[in-house]
Amino acid sequence: MARRIALTGATGFIGSNLAKKLADAGWKIKALCRPESIRRSNSGRFDLAGLPIQWIEGDLSDLEILRHLVRNTDAIVHCAGAVRGTSEKQFNGVNVNGVARLVQAASEQHQRPRFLLISSLAARQPHLSPYAASKRKGEEALAAGGVICSGLSSGPQPFTVPGIARCCLYFAGLPEALRRCSGLEKIVFPCCMSTI
């Protein structure tokens, strides 16, 4: 039976490339997307038509949709995020509250999926901007959440999508015994994309 993965941000640059790599590796993909984003992705630069993706229409503000997204999945890769905005409220709505709701949906599952958050190096310096502060708070929401998790931050060196994909495949495929090793229920590690 193929393994299932929930993916947010699948219509963006990193998420669309991850979707292709995950599909090539045999994963069944459930992807969250806003209706206008799926139309753009299938007709524009991130062509995802023909990939074995089950599209779940909605956004990070809807807990019921997120529960549906993560139900019966082995792993979650959360790429969605707000990178442009004019207020702290706009950034927090997606980068903090969206993460918290997705963590809640994941933690409610009988078989909790592993959770990989694609974050930002900006989270290390939250005082720099509302964006940076929101990314830090999103990482904190993940760390506080009761899921098997990992944080992944883009570093100062150029990163490659194949490198992120290798990390995702490794993370999602970790044996169940590993997470129970030494009583650890969650693993959080920041890393530079160039080291993957």
Evaluate whether 5 touches 76 at the Cβ level (below 8 Å). yes
Helix axes 97-107, 130-144, angle to 10 degrees: 10
Domain that holds residue 112: 4-195
- What are all long-range contacts of 177-182, with beta carbons under 8 Å and residues at least 24 apart? 179/114, 179/148
- The CATH number of residue 183's host domain is 3.40.50.720
**Single pTM value for the model:** 0.78
Domain count, the chain: 1
Q: How confident is the chain (196 residues) per 10-residue block, as mean pLDDT?
A: 88 86 90 78 64 93 97 92 91 95 93 84 88 91 73 48 54 47 41 38
